[in-house]
């Protein structure tokens, strides 16, 4: 039985395909092309410059500090955001009175804009903000800590912001996975006298292992793509001497204005892509090997 004419699927697909080709497929090819040119933000003819943008990258100290920031960012976010949201998901999985309220509340930081959240934390972490004030009043700190102006404290502040904002998001991802954990297995383990900790490691973790790898990949790639957190916490400056800038912040800086350099920004984009491939490939490999 003929269910549709041959062109019907294509008619339905046209808008989505046009969008995909115009705003994703073509730009990704064009990024590579632009990275060999000296294109300017305001248009005009772009000249071919060969590998110059890439050789400039290697000698740019800002690129190296951005890469260092990225590695530190990823190294801290990865364990925290792979484990903490799982624990929170287990906490809200049980159907207690008012659990829907807690789930929604824990998700609040996710729906807020990174700009809103960044400004919120700028106020909390201010030299005279509530965190410094309370910590000095309780004599936890002798002097207020310069959370927003110190080279490394800025990075750690941005990391805590990322972890705080990501908690609810990955909690939901884990919550969907926990639904598939075999209840009988849990009960059998409990009957055999396995404690909470034991059940967590021998029943829950193996059951959500695939999801943990997925979350680990999402967290690492997100950490390498960080922009708004650092941008807002440092007022767009990237900390002292711009040393706290992330790769995406550098891309943004070269993208605009009369002095912008889209060719160099494109070379940075290609670098960003290569860097995000690393954790994806490494984690996928570990996952494959441990499955065997």
Partner 1 sequence: MTAVAEAPRQKRRRTPISEAGTGEKVVRYVLLVFVLVITVGPFLWELSTSLKGAGEDIYTTNPQLIPHQPTLSNYAHVAQSIPVWRYIGNSLIVAALTVAGNVIFATLAGYAIARLRFGGRRIVLGLFLATLVLPGEVTIISQFVTVRDLGFADSLLGVALPGMVAALNVLLLYNAFRMLPGDIDQAAIVDGANVWQRLTRVSLPAVRGTLAVVAIFAFIQAWDDFLWPLLVITTPGKYTLTVGLQYLSGTFVSDKRMIAAGTMIAFIPIAVIFSVLQRYFFKGVEEGGVKG
Looking at residues 177 to 206 of the shown chain, list those that interact with partner 1 (rule: CB under 8 A): 179, 183, 186-187, 190-191
Which residues inside 261-280 make contact with partner 1, applying CB under 8 A? 262, 265-266, 269-270, 272-273, 276, 280
The reply to whether 219 sits near partner 1 by the rule CB under 8 A is no
Q: How far is CA 30 from CA 33, 39, 202, 266, in A?
A: 5, 12, 49, 9
Does residue 88 touch partner 1 according to CB under 8 A?
yes
**Residue among 72, 141, 221, 278 that touches partner 1 (CB under 8 A):** 221
- Cβ pair 60, 268 in contact under 8 A: no
Stretch (H or E) spanning 156: helix 151-178
- 287 phi, psi to nearest 5 deg: -60, -45
Selected binder of partner 1 within 10, 48, 152, 201 (CB under 8 A)? 10
- DSSP reduced 3-state for 37: strand
| Binding-site member from 228, 233, 244, 283 for partner 1 (CB under 8 A) | 228
130 binds partner 1 (CB under 8 A): yes
List of residues 6+ apart from 119 with CB closer than 8 A: 232
CA distances from 227 to 23, 78, 248 (A): 21, 17, 6
Work out how close the CB of 271 gets to partner 1 at its nearest, in angstroms, rounded to a whole number: 9
Residue 51 or 100: the one with the smaller Cβ distance to partner 1 is 100
Q: Is 132 exposed, middle or buried (0-12, 13-18, 19+ CB in 10 A)?
A: buried
242-246-249 Cα angle (round to 5): 80
Q: Return the range that interacts with partner 1 (CB under 8 A); candidates 52-60, 70-78, 146-154, 207-215.
A: 207-215
Query: CB of residue 281 vs partner 1: minimum separation in angstroms?
Result: 11
Quick one: which of 71, 91, 145, 207 contacts partner 1 (CB under 8 A)?
Answer: 91
Shortest gap between Cβ of 187 and partner 1 (angstroms)?
4
Site for partner 1 in 31-50 (CB under 8 A): 31, 34, 39, 41, 43
Q: Which of 61, 104, 202, 288 binds partner 1 (CB under 8 A)?
A: 104
Distance CA 110, CA 194 (A): 35
């Amino acid at each position: 039985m003929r269910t549709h004419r041959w062109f019907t699927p294509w008619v339905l697909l046209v808008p989505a395909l046009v969008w995909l080709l115009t705003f994703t497929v073509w730009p990704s090819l064009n990024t590579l092309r632009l990275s060999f040119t000296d294109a300017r933000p305001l248009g005009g003819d772009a000249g071919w410059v060969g590998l110059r943008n890439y050789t400039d990258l290697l000698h740019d100290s800002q690129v190296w500090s951005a890469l260092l920031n990225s590695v530190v960012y990823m190294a801290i976010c990865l364990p925290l955001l792979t484990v903490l949201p799982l624990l929170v998901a287990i906490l809200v999985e049980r159907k207690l009175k008012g659990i829907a309220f807690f789930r929604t509340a824990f998700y609040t930081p996710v729906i807020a804009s990174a700009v809103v959240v960044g400004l919120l934390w700028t106020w909390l972490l201010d030299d005279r903000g509530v965190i410094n004030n309370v910590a000095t009043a309780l004599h936890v700190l002798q002097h207020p800590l310069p959370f927003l102006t110190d080279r490394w404290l800025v990075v750690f502040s941005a990391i805590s912001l990322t972890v705080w904002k990501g908690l609810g998001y990955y909690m939901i991802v884990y919550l969907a996975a926990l639904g598939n954990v075999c209840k009988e297995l849990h009960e059998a383990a409990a009957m055999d006298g396995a404690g909470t900790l034991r059940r967590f490691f021998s029943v829950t973790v193996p059951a959500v292992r695939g999801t943990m790898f997925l979350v680990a990949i999402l967290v690492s790639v997100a950490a390498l793509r960080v922009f708004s957190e650092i941008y807002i916490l440092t007022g767009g400056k990237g900390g002292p001497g711009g040393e706290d800038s992330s790769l995406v912040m550098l891309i943004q800086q070269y993208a605009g204005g009369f002095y912008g350099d889209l060719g160099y920004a494109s070379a940075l984009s290609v670098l960003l892509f290569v860097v995000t491939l690393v954790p994806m490939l490494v984690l996928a490999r570990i996952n494959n090997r441990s499955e065997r």
